[in-house]
Structure 1
């Protein structure tokens, strides 16, 4: 492969893009006491948010007062499913718009959060302008709030996801991506960010464990799957390290991996989330593996986190090529029905800062 091709990754044209931005702050007594009761606080605040969002041409906006973590995925239809810890948004950015308040009457949230879902058809091309709109919205909102001492934080989340077996299903066409660093991409499009920005880039690979794969991975006659899971993890780690990928995790306990920068964030796992921490500035990390020894996982998730050493020419194209090469080496050890099994690869780009 030529040097220029190594800097780009060729993804199927069927790849899906998502972007959502959250603006949140702790719900202080000073803020709440401005209203008659907590329900009025939520309703009046959301009314202000939705009216202002319309002025800034932001058309899919949610106010979350339940302390649930927003999770956003593409879907042809629009749904919002709450779990105990998550607020799962499914939508098609090209078609779906919404203004909705998510609250439980009488419940005092720890934080108030505004979730902006990107709309349109060219999400990556318009990502900087979308972020700039949120910045302008935020600047207009601040003077309207009952207190000016709020610790507001902005988080920008971008995903691009695709089926690793897309070609086996007849999706032959591909498109080249350099996957530029968000800070640089925004700066080139005149969207200025503060100097103190935290960023994290990683890949989440989702492998469903069907009957045929389960028979290859796990001894179905056993009551303890420790050795089977350990062998699986060892095979993945060996394949990844052969491609110079060292920040790795394997999650097979039914929980959703939640990747955090260990330099800044607390790493407390929950019933639904397996929180794993990596410092992108540290080159070596001990692989993280979690499974339940007495259960067969329905889904196995692999995480590969990018560090500073994984960026060339301001992009993650080479890094993604390394991830794909590692997965090819890993899956060679197993038999897949590639025409029917979806091996989903999702590249995450996150940044956050105090507004």
Structure 2
């Protein structure tokens, strides 16, 4: 592969793009005391948020006062599903707008989290403009709060997702992506970020445990689910290692993997989330594997984290080409119905900073 081609990755034209930004306001005792009660606090705060957001043409905004983690996905219909720990937003950025307050009766949140869902088309090319609008929103709303100096943090989440077997389903057309680093893209579009920005870039792969894969694993004479998972992990680790991808994880316990920088964040898994921590300064960490020996998961989820040397101005094209080669090598070890099974690959780009 030529050097210029390595800088680009070719993905299906049906690839989905998402971007959402969260701004967390710590709900201090002083801030809460500025309102008549908890309900009034949530209502007045959200009213102010929606008013200021509309001024900056931020049209899909949610105030979350339940400490549940937002998860955002593309869908032709707009709806929000809630679990004990998650708020799952499904929407089409080209069509859907909303202003909504999410609370739990009598629950005092640790943070008042404002979730901005990107709207319109061409989300990646307008991502810096969207981020700048959120910065303007924050600069205006801070002096309007009844208490000054409330700690805030911005988290910018962007991802693109596609079915790895799109071609087998007849979707032959592809588009070349350079996948530049977020801070480089923003700098070129005059969206200023502070120096102390934490960035994380990684890929998740979801492999459904379809009937044909289950039969293949059953035929391998494993005496426990743990042995079956170990064989899947061996195939995955071999494929990624041979493609020079050293920061990998496999999760097969029914939980959603959350990737974090273990150098700065304390990792505590929950009933719904499996924390997966990587220290960027560790050049050769051991593979991380989490599974439940007592049952076969509906899907096995894999994580591949980009290294510091991948964070070049030319983007993550080379990294994604390595990822695709590894997935191809890995999935070729199984008898899969590629015309019907969806192996969803999602490239995540996150950045965060105190504001």
Q: Specify the TM-score bucket, using the shorter chain as the normaliser.
A: over 0.9
> 1:282 offset after TM fit, Å?
2.4
Describe the superposition over 1:211-237 as per-residue Cα deviations: whole angstroms up to 9, x where unpaired: 111111345986621111111101100
SS at match of 1:162: strand
The more displaced of 277-286 and 222-231 is 222-231
Report if the CA contact (8 A) 1:223-1:294 is conserved.
no
> 1:150 offset after TM fit, Å?
1.3
Equivalences for residues 190-229 of structure 1 within 5 A: 190-218=190-218, 224-229=224-229
Report if the CA contact (8 A) 1:31-1:146 is conserved.
yes
Change (3 A) 1:313 1:106: closer
Q: Distance in 1 between matches of 2:312 and 2:188?
A: 17
| In the alignment, structure 1 residue 20 sits paired with structure 2 residue 20 | yes
> What is the aligned partner in structure 2 of residue 170 from structure 1?
170
Equivalences for residues 88-127 of structure 1 within 5 A: 88-127=88-127
Report if the CA contact (8 A) 1:19-1:159 is conserved.
yes
| In the alignment, structure 1 residue 340 sits paired with structure 2 residue 354 | no
Q: Distance in 1 between matches of 2:345 and 2:323?
A: 9
> 1:149 offset after TM fit, Å?
2.1
Q: Distance in 2 between matches of 1:99 and 1:85?
A: 21
Q: Distance in 1 between matches of 2:321 and 2:243?
A: 9
> 1:30 offset after TM fit, Å?
0.2
| In the alignment, structure 1 residue 186 sits paired with structure 2 residue 186 | yes
What is the TM-score of this pair, normalised by structure 1? 0.98
What is the TM-score of this pair, normalised by structure 2? 0.98
> 1:26 offset after TM fit, Å?
1.7
Q: Distance in 1 between matches of 2:311 and 2:67?
A: 34
Q: Distance in 1 between matches of 2:149 and 2:185?
A: 31
Describe the superposition over 1:119-174 as per-residue Cα deviations: whole angstroms up to 9, x where unpaired: 00110000000000000000000001111121100000000000000011111111
The runs of 4+ residues in structure 1 deviating greater than 3 Å are: 218-223, 311-314
Q: State the aligned residue count.
A: 355
Equivalences for residues 39-118 of structure 1 within 5 A: 39-118=39-118
> 1:25 offset after TM fit, Å?
2.2
The more displaced of 305-314 and 237-246 is 305-314
Q: Distance in 2 between matches of 1:237 and 1:210?
A: 21
Q: Distance in 2 between matches of 1:53 and 1:152?
A: 16
SS at match of 2:238: helix
Structure 2 residue runs of 5 or longer lacking an equivalent are none
RMSD (Å), alpha carbons: 1.2
Report if the CA contact (8 A) 1:209-1:300 is conserved.
yes
Describe the superposition over 1:199-218 as per-residue Cα deviations: whole angstroms up to 9, x where unpaired: 00000000111111111134
The more displaced of 340-349 and 212-221 is 212-221
> What is the aligned partner in structure 1 of residue 135 from structure 2?
135
